[in-house]
Structure 1
Amino acid sequence: MNSINLNISFEQYESITELKLVDRTLCELAEQALKTSYSPYSKFRVGTAIRLASGETVLGSNQENLAYPSGLCAERVALFTIGATYPNAVIESMAITAQTDNFEILKPITSCGGCLQVMAEFERKQNAPIEVIFYCLNGEVLKVSSVKSLLPFAFVEDRLER
């Protein structure tokens, strides 16, 4: 038996004011996306902004449905919009934040496993890393250089036998 350790590197900031302007702007756009969240059941709004290599930005927000599994997370709303509208686009970076009136969010929220899997597929498809910024509206920011570092065992095509 082998014992193997996995470590990830990420950057941590006290607030988005410490980020480069291009990243700070992306975070501010993710915050704007919160306004289009349809979350009448959880009251938990999530917004994401994705910057393409072309310079365009695509926004997404979570869209709930009374039949809970039928809703969609903000990340997948934005990513699938890119897939349908800009099928050959290269994604450079994405910012994700959340907000609720029910309690104070003290730490950055991170993407669920389903979203990470979709993010990993886009990263694999474009053969280039996607930088991810998770941030709390009132503080801390976490920044990773690629989705692969967040989901090292992603379900990918090369794991399938043919």
Structure 2
Amino acid sequence: MTKKIEIKVSLEVFSKNEWLSEDAHLIEKAKSILENAHAPYSNFLVGAALLLENGEVFVANNQENVSFPVGICAERAVLSYAMGNFPNDRPVKIAIVAKRRVNNQLATVTPCGLCRQTINEYEVKFNHPIEILMLNPQEEILKASGIDQLLPFRFNDLNS
């Protein structure tokens, strides 16, 4: 008999008047770093802000390279910096904001596959989900309670 595995995923949607102050702060920090992105090839600017359990907030943006895919996404850049310098401080939330340079409008973006797997790595390390906040053009926050909502069949250490 064939078996079927189903996993339900969901995102919460918050209009601007429903934003929590902590979420608003992270979104604004991610927006503030957008213009510093090095994206001369795609003209797609991404900013990320990461909140650690100790209250520290770090920001980063995407950095492209003409030798695709050598560049690094904003999410991996901020996580790499924070975890390299504060390896014992658990990431609590990450906010992601993107826009197209050509029309200067916000774009809905979710973490790419590499970034999703990287977020998963730190959820496994700290045995705790990381909230993921994504801003859309309507200035709504799409909130995932953890990476399982974006990557339901994650690749984990299969020997544990």
Normalised TM-score (structure 2):
0.92
Q: List aligned pairs for 1:4-83, cutoff 5 A.
A: 4-15=5-16, 17-83=17-83
**The 10-residue stretch of structure 1 (98-107 or 111-120) with the greater mean CA deviation from structure 2:** 98-107
Amino acid across the alignment from 2:51: R
CA distance in structure 2 between the aligned counterparts of 1:101 and 1:71, rounded to whole angstroms:
18
- Say if 2:99 and 2:107, in contact at 8 Å, map to a contact too: no
Helix, strand or coil: the match of 2:69? helix
Q: Quote how far apart the aligned CAs of 1:151 are.
A: 1.1
Runs of 5+ consecutive residues of structure 2 not aligned to the other structure: none
Normalised TM-score (structure 1):
0.91
Q: List aligned pairs for 1:83-98, cutoff 5 A.
A: 83-98=83-98
Amino acid across the alignment from 1:143: K
Q: Quote how far apart the aligned CAs of 1:60 are.
A: 1.1
CA distance in structure 2 between the aligned counterparts of 1:6 and 1:62, rounded to whole angstroms:
31
Amino acid across the alignment from 1:3: K
Amino acid across the alignment from 2:93: S
Runs of 5+ consecutive residues of structure 1 not aligned to the other structure: none
Q: Quote how far apart the aligned CAs of 1:101 are.
A: 2.5
The alignment's C-alpha RMSD in Å is 1.7
Helix, strand or coil: the match of 2:148? coil
Q: Quote how far apart the aligned CAs of 1:104 are.
A: 6.5
Amino acid across the alignment from 1:13: F
